[in-house]
Amino acid sequence: MAMVAAALAYYFRPKQWLKEEIDRRIRASIPSDLDPARTVGVPIRRSDKCTGHSLEGSAAGELECPPLEKYLSGVKTFLEFDPLIENVIVTSEDKSACEEFLQLLQKELPKLRVVQNVGDVQQGTGSGNNLEAYVEGSGNDNVVASALTSMHLHLRARYFVITSKSTWTSTIAVMARSYGFASQIFVIDIVPNTNQYGSYARKGS
């Protein structure tokens, strides 16, 4: 597991300008008193990951994306396990899904403090191609900065609600196990994959 995380860390090592941009965004996004041990991370991967999407120029969907209520149920399960949880980090490339989930949180769990990636492009696709067709200002540099900032935000969580059928959300959990700020990581996988990487994400082994 540690070797996998180390390889990913090497792969994601940013250039100096990107380090500075990620740092600026993190400082704008994370409250100074955030306690990783009392934080849930919810990285939502949707848009062109979902089967039946209508995004032109993007890869065909490969996942029956779960309803957002399943993510909410995962957060509630963690709250039952640890009533001291006080923060939830919510990120997604899909702006509409993110906004809908935030509405669910406000309705069902209004006491939780929501942390978001301030300035996130939310380009509406996991593809790096033809990004300007989806969101104005979503050039590759901005999208990369947004994505890596989201990952770094989630390193400040202890609990995660993911689907391991998304390599991206699995990677966040894997990285958190080796490089996160919390001492122990717990993962609820709402749509599990059966491969070894999914197992790393869920259990760390």
State the average pLDDT over residues 191-203. 90
Phi, psi dihedrals of residue 116, rounded to the nearest 5°: -125, 165
Write down the residue that tokens 């696709």 correspond to. 125
Please tell me the total number of residues recorded for the chain in this structure. 205
Phi, psi dihedrals of residue 89, rounded to the nearest 5°: -90, 120
Q: Residue 71 pLDDT > 80, yes or no? A: yes
Answer yes or no: are the C-beta atoms of 131 and 140 closer than 8 Å.
yes
State the average pLDDT over residues 31-41. 98
pLDDT tens digit string along 103-138?
Answer: 999 999 999 999 999 989 876 655 544 443 334 444
What is the C-alpha separation between 96 and 124, in angstroms, rounded? 9
pLDDT range class, residue 51, cuts 50, 70, 90: low
**pTM, entire model:** 0.86
Question: How confident is the model at residue 17, as a pLDDT?
Answer: 86
State the average pLDDT over residues 18-39. 95
Instruction: Copy the structure tokens of residue 71.
Output: 């993510």
pLDDT tens digit string along 176-196?
Answer: 999 999 989 999 999 888 899
State the average pLDDT over residues 18-41. 95
Question: How confident is the model at residue 173, as a pLDDT?
Answer: 95
Could you give the residue ranges of the DSSP H alpha helices within 12-67? 16-29
Phi, psi dihedrals of residue 98, rounded to the nearest 5°: -65, -45
Question: How confident is the model at residue 57, as a pLDDT?
Answer: 46
What is the C-alpha separation between 108 and 116, in angstroms, rounded? 18
State the average pLDDT over residues 158-162. 98
Q: Which residues pair with 91 in a beta bridge?
A: 43
Q: Residue 49 pLDDT > 60, yes or no? A: yes
Query: How far apart, in Å, are the Cα atoms of 97 and each of 41, 70, 124, 151, 186?
Result: 15, 13, 10, 18, 24
Answer yes or no: are the C-beta atoms of 30 and 38 closer than 8 Å.
no
Question: How confident is the model at residue 45, as a pLDDT?
Answer: 85
Query: Dihedral sign, CA of 113, 70, 119, 26?
Result: positive
What is the C-alpha separation between 55 and 61, in angstroms, rounded? 10
Question: How confident is the model at residue 61, as a pLDDT?
Answer: 56
Could you give the residue ranges of the DSSP H alpha helices within the chain? 2-11, 16-29, 68-81, 95-108, 140-154, 167-179, 196-203
